[in-house]
Structure 1
């Protein structure tokens, strides 16, 4: 390996591959996220190592891990990415926000319960801004954000999302989305306003993928109430979940962003004690916070979130109006 030179140059695309490897943790997952082969990822990282003159990877069992030098380089890569984003913002500001285009990546229930309000207001007040929506959940939505394929990520704060201190992103809190119990109307507890979760320990539960936010919340909330839920149905589509609950084959926790559901035989009730929550936020690339077009979109997202958060969903009654969507983040 050549020694570090004071005049070395770095390919920013290769830095992006290194950043993705730091996120994904393996060459195979990085290759899948970037639509490359593992061999191509290895070649990109080897070329980057030659460019900077330091080793970036070391063997760990059958896989690889980042060297100390790689982590130092990543710190600078985050700063470089933010500075390039500021340069892009400065160029975009030439138009003073009069027109532009923004692509939003969001999980499906945010598209269902949050984006329509924001996009209607944006169309009325900023008709010159063109918005494109892409459905994606964490961590994929952040890969799209890093690559520039989207400009704003709307995500849920859980294990698959970056930590709040991640320097690559500037976050905007949107709302705390409350989860209510979905029960068949014939359930013995359906007539109660608030139901201790421990009273439902013997029920069959319908829960999405273990890696999803609502799946994780359901498991942790049940554990905190002293039991492991009997999960017999794995469903990641809210309409399908509502149909199963109405049929009487199980119960579930349902976020208010997708409430109420089109099912006359389904009721929504609040769990006793502190309400289970999932925190929804928007993220942009660090350095892009002054983009006038993105700022206008974020303003409308915040306003829509205030309405959605204040509406309080449909807990406490029969689920009847509005629709439900499906999403990987649940």
Structure 2
């Protein structure tokens, strides 16, 4: 390729494609996340390589892998993206705040147990602001955040979520959401004050998809208790899960964020014995966007709502 020109420029949209390839590990998975064809992703990378005058991919069997130059570029890409977000935030702060639209991506139980209180407070504080909500979990919620399709991500820490050290995001922990054991009312352990998880090793389980946050957390909690659950029913909807437990079809772990769903269900909710299984809920924005006054207001109200939930114990 031609040597680097002192006047070279970077198409930021192509840089986003390169970041997604790094995150997903393949052209095909990046294409799926970006709603493009693998051919289009390959073309974007080729165009970016020509633009810069350095190779960005190399053959690796039937696929491709990123070159050393690509990884050097990606180290700068996070800084570039954060600086652009700071510029956007400064422009917003300069003008009149509290207008426009903010889109929040959130997991299902967070939408039920956390967002209503926060969104009511945002509406009272910024009545001219429109807030849209999209149900999404990692990694998709962060792909949408990177692409600017959402402005705020509310998520749970698990394998598909980015690490705390990821420089692309500014994040804050909101609360620790405890998981309780849901049992049919006639289950032998339903009368216990606390339930030893190991004693449920031979029960049928009702568990969400392995790629979902609660599905993944339930599997890891059972593994830590010393067994692999027999998953009889794969259910992601919390109301449906409660109905199956109440009907005696199995046991489950349910987050306290959705406890209000079970107020009239004939099932027993009991704490797990010992250290309670839990998941960490956090909010993230693109690095640099934390200075945006509107996003600051949304994040403040999320923190306040989370504090109310934590104080109540949702028990």
What are the Cα deviations for residues 199-241 of structure 1, in whole angstroms up to 9, with x where unaligned? 1111111111112222222222222222221111111111111
Aligned partners of 2:178 and 2:276 also within 8 Å:
yes
Correspondence for 1:60: 60
Correspondence for 2:201: 201
1:1-330 matched pairs, under 5 angstroms: 1-95=1-95, 97-262=97-262, 263-314=264-315
Instruction: Find runs of 4+ consecutive structure 1 residues off by over 3 angstroms.
Output: none
Query: 1:48 aligns to what SS in structure 2?
Result: helix
Q: CA deviation at 1:95?
A: 2.6
Q: CA deviation at 1:46?
A: 0.3
Alpha-carbon separation, structure 1, partners of 2:47 and 2:54: 11
Aligned partners of 1:101 and 1:293 also within 8 Å:
no
Alpha-carbon separation, structure 2, partners of 1:256 and 1:203: 22
Aligned partners of 1:100 and 1:293 also within 8 Å:
no
What TM-score, normalized to structure 1? Answer: 0.92
What are the Cα deviations for residues 122-151 of structure 1, in whole angstroms up to 9, with x where unaligned? 112221222111111111111111111111
Q: CA deviation at 1:155?
A: 0.7
Alpha-carbon separation, structure 1, partners of 2:134 and 2:261: 23
Aligned partners of 1:17 and 1:44 also within 8 Å:
yes
What TM-score, normalized to structure 2? Answer: 0.97
Alpha-carbon separation, structure 1, partners of 2:223 and 2:99: 50
Q: Which moved more, 1:126-135 or 1:156-165?
A: 126-135
Alpha-carbon separation, structure 2, partners of 1:213 and 1:99: 33
Q: Which moved more, 1:96-105 or 1:174-183?
A: 96-105
Alpha-carbon separation, structure 1, partners of 2:113 and 2:96: 30
Q: CA deviation at 1:96?
A: 5.0
Q: CA deviation at 1:311?
A: 2.0
Alpha-carbon separation, structure 2, partners of 1:93 and 1:261: 40
Query: 1:259 aligns to what SS in structure 2?
Result: helix
Query: 1:8 aligns to what SS in structure 2?
Result: coil
Query: 1:195 aligns to what SS in structure 2?
Result: coil
Alpha-carbon separation, structure 2, partners of 1:97 and 1:45: 37
What are the Cα deviations for residues 298-325 of structure 1, in whole angstroms up to 9, with x where unaligned? 00000011111222223xxxxxxxxxxx
Q: CA deviation at 1:152?
A: 0.5
Query: 2:167 aligns to what SS in structure 1?
Result: coil
Alpha-carbon separation, structure 2, partners of 1:228 and 1:108: 25
Alpha-carbon separation, structure 2, partners of 1:142 and 1:225: 31
Alpha-carbon separation, structure 1, partners of 2:246 and 2:119: 32
Structure 2 unaligned blocks of 5 or more: none
Structure 1 unaligned blocks of 5 or more: 315-330
Q: CA deviation at 1:98?
A: 4.1
